[in-house]
């Protein structure tokens, strides 16, 4: 089995931080999502894994809506593709590195625990933020309503499918979600792995192919099917060639 990832991704964040951020963001009085009617056409969900450098051209003259996760938002904007929505989950400080290419009227779907400084920056730039509530373990006692919670695993990549389903999307196309580093060592699109982080990398073998990844990234290949299975009527098309794509196309189960 893969090494379990922490609830919030790479860093260990105590429940008190989630609670404090949720309460602070709640005071803003911003809208929260409500379940949507079934939507026609595809939704393109774009992560920032290395394969995005090869697959992003799929988004030119695209027929559907684009959601960009974290780093992918600015990356696409700088290439002349404005996402219809930016999406984030994390409360950790690194999320402040993203969502700088904000213009008035831009839309964002942020989890209620997202770092308040990011919310401030987006609102100050004229962006519109709608909150959604991630489901937490019951014993954390989070101050959030029990309805319309968004489920999935610990990363935004594994939560965004439930979010899309609740909002009415069924035809999902996914770019930049590899669950591994590139063959050249990039940890994200156009982003080499920091030397001081390389000791966290592990090798994962799936149906005869080896992939190098952080455990929190590789875990997505194991979580993916469980996150998608309950979402009745949803079809997911994966683009690119990484651990996640290979594990689904081959029917394999990656092991460390």
User: Which whole number is the average pLDDT over 97-118?
Assistant: 98
Q: Report the chain's mean pLDDT, rounded to a whole number.
A: 91
Residue 251 pLDDT > 60: no
Q: Quick one: angle between helices 15-26 and 116-124, nearest 10?
A: 30
Give the residue from 178, 13, 177, 186 showing the smallest Cα distance to 95.
13
User: Which whole number is the average pLDDT over 235-242?
Assistant: 96
Give the residue carrying structure tokens 């996760």: 69
Residue 72 pLDDT > 90: yes
pLDDT value at residue 41: 85
pLDDT value at residue 197: 85
pLDDT value at residue 250: 59
Return the SS3 of 36. coil
CATH number for the segment(s) 15-250: 3.90.1480
The tens digit of pLDDT for each residue in 13-41 reads 889 999 999 999 999 999 999 999 999 88
Binned at pLDDT 50, 70 and 90, residue 252 comes out as very low
CA–CA distances in Å: residue 89 to residues 82, 92, 105, 115, 200: 20, 9, 21, 9, 23
- Whole-angstrom distance, CA of residue 146 vs CA of residue 162: 15
pLDDT value at residue 194: 84
Give the residue from 73, 105, 51 showing the smallest Cα distance to 245.
51
User: Which whole number is the average pLDDT over 87-103?
Assistant: 96
User: Which whole number is the average pLDDT over 145-158?
Assistant: 93
pLDDT value at residue 4: 35
Residue 254 pLDDT > 90: no
pLDDT value at residue 5: 36
Q: SS3 breakdown of the chain: % helix, strand, coil, rounded to 5?
A: 30, 20, 45
Ordered by start, the domain boundaries in the chain are 15-250
Q: Quick one: angle between helices 156-166 and 215-228, nearest 10?
A: 20
Residue 165 pLDDT > 50: yes
From edge to edge, which strands make up the β-sheet containing 42-46?
128-132, 107-111, 85-88, 65-69, 42-46, 171-175, 235-238
CA–CA distances in Å: residue 90 to residues 35, 61, 174: 22, 30, 20
Residue 42 pLDDT > 90: yes
The tens digit of pLDDT for each residue in 195-206 reads 888 999 999 999
User: Which whole number is the average pLDDT over 174-203?
Assistant: 92
Strand partners, 160: none
Q: Which backbone phi and psi does 129 adopt, to 5 degrees?
A: -110, 130
Q: What percent of the chain has pLDDT over 90?
A: 81
pLDDT value at residue 249: 74
Residue 67 pLDDT > 70: yes
């Amino acid at each position: 089995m893969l090494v379990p990832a922490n609830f919030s991704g790479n860093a260990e964040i105590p429940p008190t931080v989630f609670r404090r951020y949720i309460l602070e963001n709640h005071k803003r009085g911003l809208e929260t999502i409500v379940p949507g009617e079934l939507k026609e056409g595809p939704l393109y969900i774009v992560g920032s894994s290395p394969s995005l450098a090869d697959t992003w051209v799929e988004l030119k003259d695209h027929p559907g809506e684009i959601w960009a996760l974290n780093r992918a938002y600015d990356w696409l904007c700088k290439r002349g593709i404005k996402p219809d929505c930016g999406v984030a989950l994390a409360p950790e400080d690194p999320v402040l590195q993203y969502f700088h290419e904000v213009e008035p009227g831009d839309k964002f779907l942020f989890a209620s625990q997202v770092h308040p400084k990011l919310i401030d920056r987006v609102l100050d730039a004229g962006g519109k933020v709608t909150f959604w509530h991630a489901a937490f373990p019951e014993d954390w006692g989070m101050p959030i309503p029990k309805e319309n919670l968004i489920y999935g695993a610990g990363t935004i990549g594994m939560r965004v499918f439930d979010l899309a389903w609740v909002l009415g999307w069924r035809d999902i196309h996914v770019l930049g979600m590899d669950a591994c580093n590139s063959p050249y060592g990039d940890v994200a699109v156009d982003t080499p792995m920091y030397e001081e982080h390389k000791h966290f990398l592990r090798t994962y073998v799936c149906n005869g192919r080896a992939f190098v990844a952080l455990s929190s990234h590789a875990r997505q290949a194991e979580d993916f099917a469980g996150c998608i299975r309950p979402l009745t009527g949803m079809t997911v098309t994966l683009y690119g060639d990484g651990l996640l794509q290979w594990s689904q196309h081959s029917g394999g189960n990656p092991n460390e």
